[in-house]
Amino acid sequence: MPSHRTVVARLREVVGNHVVTDPEVIAPFARDWTNRFRGQTPAVVRPGSTGEVAGVVRACRELGVALVPQGGNTGLVGGGVPLHGEVVLSLGRLTSVDEVDTVAGQLTAGAGVALGTVQQAAGAAGWRYAVDLASRGSATVGGTVATNAGGTHVLHHGDTRAQLLGMEAVLGTGAVVSHLGGLVKDNTGYHLPGLVCGSEGTLAVVTAARLRLVPDLPWRTVAVLAFASVADALGGSAVLRRSLPSLEAVELFLAPGLELVCTVTGMSPPFPEAHPAYLLVEAADRVDPTEAVAEAVGAVGRLAGSVVATESSRRAELWRYREAHTEAINTLGPPHKLDVTLPLGALAEFVDRVPVEVHAVDPTARTWLFGHAGDGNVHVNVTGPAPGDERVDETVLRLVAGYGGSISAEHGIGAAKRRWLHLARSDSEIAAFRAIKRALDPDGILNPNALLPPEPS
């Protein structure tokens, strides 16, 4: 292995002063947002162009040094931190946002642009970027593409991959692949953006993305609905999905999570009394959807209560009950975050069963459940067990697999779940993954500790 000094000197040849080695400055780049995953790095390198990214990748390839690409560092599975002394390749300086193509309804943005900035740019041009998530202020285009981020509106608009019309990226070979023309129909071979999207920085470093925009509908209505059970709530979700075409989001949270959110944020609860399960629903349309929402909600059986908001600040308050779960749970210490997806028919039973199974493994653990009920994605968060104690992770992920679910719905596999990849993917699928990895990153320098488990020796 080359010395730190050699690595830093070589990187400086590519990006000049944009190699950071001050331990205090680089410390936040070496740990994740939850504090569960902590590593170390000799340097954070901050290229300012795609050409410089390619130069950095080529230099690291020559030196035999591994890289971890990093965007806003909002990942939740340890996939964006240097757990084994890798160099951090920060894309934070790639902040160009092209003018919105108002004819096509598309936008090209650099990897380091925050999701919220893309949303604002789209909104200013009368369009909307459909991917939305609570960390919109820090999560970046590059990171959301690399992880195929989902979020709160997948039900209606699909995940990041569904918005991706083109991409510029640097492969592990150092070659630049750029296809940003934005043609909706373009059947000219392998769809590299679709392949790189969700590959968690293991095949290529995303430097820019061409994104599809959707019409910015002027009217929105948000409601929080209360239920006596998760099964009732999910029954309600099915009714709404069937009867309300303007439905954009159906989110789930439970009484303990809401209580914690209210304690941490100081918000008052939405109802005078607690209910076991809640749905947050959002509808958007060209005309006020409030009446349509009321009619659809009226058809929901076993409803224990509802609050409705049309005015923007009140809508944001209702959203906060759901979106503040992540920060509220983090106040209890680093959580085990198990982002899973279940066949919708099995979701209610799973949600009821998982705390019981967790308790059987670790009676001191607390299970928090919330998520995107409309698409079957539930976030199982467990607080209590030490970060390295994976018994609870194993139990939950095996339970998910037993129901025919997936061990990652939207956060990815990262470092946290790669030992369980076999629960979701067959041997031949994993062999195909490895072949693709070898082709695009022959020396295995890109994010070597994410997604794929070590090769059996």
User: Which residues of this chain interact with ligand MLT, rule CB under 6 A?
Assistant: 76, 133-134, 325-326, 337, 339, 379
Please, which residue, 86 or 339, has the CB nearer to ligand MLT?
339
The answer to whether 44 and 90 are in contact (CB under 8 A) is yes
- Shortest reach from residue 149's CB to ligand MLT, in Å: 8
Q: Give residue 19's region: left, alpha or beta (phi > 0; psi -120 to 50).
A: beta
CA gap 363, 365 in Å, rounded: 6
Please, which residue, 46 or 336, has the CB nearer to ligand MLT?
336
- Shortest reach from residue 454's CB to ligand MLT, in Å: 27
- Shortest reach from residue 187's CB to ligand MLT, in Å: 33
Please, which residue, 330 or 449, has the CB nearer to ligand MLT?
330
Shortest Cβ contact with ligand MLT: which residue?
326
- Shortest reach from residue 291's CB to ligand MLT, in Å: 29
- Shortest reach from residue 122's CB to ligand MLT, in Å: 21
Please, which residue, 55 or 142, has the CB nearer to ligand MLT?
142
Please, which residue, 83 or 133, has the CB nearer to ligand MLT?
133
Please, which residue, 52 or 200, has the CB nearer to ligand MLT?
200
Please, which residue, 70 or 152, has the CB nearer to ligand MLT?
152
- Shortest reach from residue 263's CB to ligand MLT, in Å: 17
- Shortest reach from residue 410's CB to ligand MLT, in Å: 6
- Shortest reach from residue 77's CB to ligand MLT, in Å: 10
Please, which residue, 76 or 351, has the CB nearer to ligand MLT?
76
